[in-house]
A and B are shown apart, each in its own frame.
Chain A
Amino acid sequence: MNSTIEVEGLTKTFSPENRAVDAVSFKVGEGEVFSLLGPNGAGKTTTIRMLTTVTSITEGKAMVGGYDVREDPGAVRGLIGVVPQEVTLDNELKGMENLLLTAKLCRVPDQTAKSKARDLLRLVELEDSANRRVGTYSGGMKRRLQLVTALIHNPRVLFLDEPTVGLDIQTRTKIWDYIGHLNRDQGLTILMTTHYLEEADKLSDIVAIMDHGVIKVSGSPSDLKESLHGDVLTVAVEDGGEDLTRFLRSVPSVTEVTHVDHSYRLKLPKVESALPAIIASIASRNLRITETSFSKPTLDQVFLEVTGRSMRDAQEANGHSSNGGSYAAAHRSEAK
Chain B
Amino acid sequence: MIVESLALGKRSLTKWARNPFAVIATSLQALFWLALFGNSFSPANAFTSTAGGSLGALQQAFSGAPNYITFLTPGVVGIVALVGMSFQGVDLVFDRITGYIDLLRAFPIPRTSIYFGGVVQNIGKGMVATPIAFLLALVVPNGLRLADGFGVINVIGVLATMAVLTTVFSMFFTGLAMSVKSTDSFFGAINFLTFPIMFASTAFFPLSFFPAWLKPIAQANPISLACDAMRLLLVNGSLSVSQASAFLWDWAGLLVYGVVFAALGITMARNALRAR
Which residues from chain A sit less than 8 Å from chain B, CB to CB? Answer: 49, 52-56, 73-74, 77-78, 80, 82, 84-86, 88, 90, 92-93, 97, 101-102, 104-107, 133, 153, 159, 326-328, 331-332, 334-335
Contact = CB atoms under 8 A, between A and B. Distances in A.
Contact of A328 (B11, B97, B107, B108): B97
B246 interface: no
B146 interface: no
Residue among B19, B103, B106 facing the most chain A CB atoms (10 A cut-off): B106
B275 A54 contact: yes
Contacts of B99: 84-86, 88, 326-328, 331
Contacts, number: 79
Given A77-B107, A104-B3, A335-B276, A93 B100 contact: no
A78 B276 contact: no
A74 to B, nearest CB: 7
A243 to B, nearest CB: 63
Interface residues of B, number: 25
B146 to A, nearest CB: 38
A237 to B, nearest CB: 56
B98 interface: yes
Given A56-B276, A106-B107, A328-B98, A335 B181 contact: yes
A54 B103 CA distance: 8
Interface in B101-121: 102-109
B8 interface: yes
Given A53-B106, A84-B102, A327-B102, A92 B7 contact: no
A55 B100 CA distance: 15
A74 B108 contact: yes
Contacts of B109: 77, 105-106
Interface in B205-224: none
Contact of A53 (B3, B15, B105, B181): B105
A105 B276 contact: no
